[in-house]
Amino acid sequence: MLIKTRDDGYTHPQSSEITSQAVYQDRRQLMRLMAGGAAGAVLASWAVRDARAQMPGQGTKLVGRTSAVSGASTMDKLTEFKDASSYNNFYEFGTDKSDPARNAHTLKTAPWTVAIEGLVKKPGNYTLEDLLKLSAMEERIYRMRCVEGWSMVIPWVGYSVAELIRRVEPLGSAKYVEFVTLADSKTMPYVGSRVLDWPYVEGLRMDEAMHPLTLLTFGMYGEVLPKQNGAPLRLVVPWKYGFKSGKSLVKIRFTDKQPATAWSVAAPQEYGFYSNVNPLVDHPRWSQAAERRIGEDGLFAKKRKTLMFNGYEPQVGQLYAGMDLKKYY
């Protein structure tokens, strides 16, 4: 089946679903006030960061400005921080949704280095401070959709992965970008379990990684990432199911071959390489046609209709023009 892209864009929600303007502007004003220093200085005290990042309003503030990237915002009501930071998939810390928030305190996020490898002119080990200095950070409010049928709306802070890619200068033969998560059995208690082959690996086609919506993410809600959400840096790809957005990254590799990603190796009949949000392609064990927004899950809460590419079809649909998205799921 060929998926035809639309031109009509995203339908605005009802006014009752929109975040209070006063509340949102107050938070953004606080971000601006706290954004006076360089990004490296903002994250200078990692001991303090680790102790405070779990609570909204208590973490280290990140430099952030509203994104001008098309599609990098939504009128949807924000998911509350307490929900976004306590209901997570991060199998290195357990398979239950509450396990990461309970167990991720053991993660050591300083010092932190990301290895740039493969088909690239400027390979090397980049410290977190090196990465923070590459580009000004922006705030982007993205809808995030999980393959299990739940969704959130989260204000992320970071910059387009394309900024990093341009700086390290991939060779013309590089067709894919592979993202590798830390796998440390000393600090990640479920590494070594038989759920997946470790380390956790994800990947994107080069044009997907270069798309301006693909975000190298250092924070959320104006503060540095909590450990259970993928500290100190993670990938965010908002038009794909959440498992594509690798957490706690330690390696970015450029390759001419499609990476063997964690879930496509573990269950290839259920999780394909592309993993685009597509309501017309069911998971083998459940429908993907509707979703439950976390924080709106009362007894009589109505599920939402799943949007093609998670609502980002106007921005990313042409990346897959002519592809059979039931075959390349």
In a domain, 5, yes or no: no
Question: For residues 123 and 167, what is the distance between their CA atoms, to the nearest angstrom?
Answer: 10
Residue 125, in any domain of the structure:
yes
Going edge to edge, which strands form the sheet with 249-255? 124-127, 113-118, 249-255, 176-181, 201-205
**What are the pLDDT tens digits along the chain (329 aa)?**
333 333 333 333 333 333 333 344 444 443 443 343 334 444 434 334 454 454 545 566 776 677 778 888 888 999 999 999 999 999 999 999 999 999 999 999 999 999 999 999 999 999 999 999 999 999 999 999 999 999 999 999 999 999 999 999 999 999 999 999 999 999 999 999 999 999 999 999 999 999 999 999 999 999 999 999 999 999 999 999 999 999 999 999 999 999 999 999 999 999 999 999 999 999 999 999 999 999 986 667 788 999 999 999 999 999 999 999 999 99
Report d(CA 67, CA 214) in Å as an integer: 12
Please give the single-letter amino acid code of residue 20.
Answer: S
> Is 95 inside any structural domain?
yes
Which residues form the domain of 190? 15-320
Give buried/exposed letters for 214-239 (b at 16+ CB in 10 A, else e).
Answer: bbbbbbbbbbbbbbbbbbbbbbbbbb
- The answer to the question of residue 279 being in a domain is yes
Q: What's the CATH number where 266 sits?
A: 3.90.420.10
Taking residue 18's Cβ as centre, other Cβ atoms within 10 Å add up to 15
Q: How many domains does the chain have?
A: 1
In a domain, 79, yes or no: yes
User: Residue 207: left (phi > 0), alpha (psi -120 to 50), or beta?
Assistant: alpha
Residue 326 lies in a domain: no
Residue 111 forms part of a structural domain: yes
Could you tell me if residue 202 is inside a domain? Answer: yes
